[in-house]
Amino acid sequence: MTPLVLALLAGAAAGLSLGALGAGGSILTVPALIYLLGYTPAAATTASLVVVIVTSVTALVAHARAGAVRWRAGLLFAAAGLLPAAVAGALSARVPGTVLTLLFAALAALAGLHMLRRRAPRDSGTVSGVRAAGAGAGLGAVTGFLGVGGGFLAVPALVTVLAVPMSAAVGTSLLAVMANALVALAARAYTAVHLDLTLLLPFLATAVLGAWDGRRLAAKVSAATLRRVFGAVLLTVAVAMGAAAVL
C-alpha cells in the first residue's frame, strides 16, 4: 500500500474508536504514525495532539448539540490539567525516542486491559475538589507527555470523582481532552519537529469521518463487543511496539 492509503485507513480506524467509545483514537494514532507513516516518536506524539484537537472538537460539537456535555464539570476538570499538560509537553521533547515508545506501549497495554475488563463506573454521589484536581492533573500530564487524549482515563474519572452521569461523561471528557491537547501542543511549539502534512491532513480527514461513523456504529453494536475488539487491538499494538523498541 502507498503511504497515502495507509494514512487514510489508519485515520479512519482511529476516528472510529473515538466515535464509538470516546477513547482509544490517539492510542492508535501514535503507533500508526510511527510504524506505517515513518514518523519519529517525537513527531508522532506531536502530530497526535493535532489529531486529538481536531477530532475532539468535532465530537464535542455533536455531543453538545445532543445536550450531553456538563460544561462546569468539564471546565473544572480541564483547568486542573492545563499546567501539567504544558510542563509534560515541554519535557517530552527531551526524552529519547526509545523511552517514549516504551512508555507509550505500557499505556496502550493499560488501555487495552481497561477496555477488556471495563464495567460501567458507579456514580459516587459526591464531589471532592482535591480528587477532581488530582484526576485532572494526571490526565493533563499524560496528554502532554505522550500526546494522547486520555479518554479511557477521563470518562471513569468524571463519573466517580465529579459525579457526572455516564450519559454525559464522554461528551464532557472531550472538553478536558481538547483543552489539555491545545496547551501541550503550544508547549511543544518551540521544538524543531517536522510534521509531514501531506500524510497528516488525509489522516485527519478520515479520522473526523470515522468519528461520525463510530457514533452510528455504537448504536448498532453492543458497547461490550466494541470494547473487547478495540482492547484486543490495543494489546496487540502494545506488544508490537514494546518488541520493536527493545530489539
**pLDDT tens-digit readout, 171-205:** 888 888 888 888 888 877 766 677 778 888 999 99
pTM, two decimals, is 0.72
Residue 36 · residue 10 · CB < 8 Å: yes
Residue 1 · residue 203 · CB < 8 Å: no
Write the pLDDT tens digit of every residue in 27-73.
778 888 888 888 888 888 888 888 888 888 887 887 788 888 888 88
Higher model confidence: residue 17 or residue 71? 71
Residue 241 · residue 106 · CB < 8 Å: no
Instruction: Reduce the DSSP state of residue 229 to 3 states and report it.
Output: helix
Sequence letter at residue 146? L
Say which DSSP state 120 is in.
Answer: P
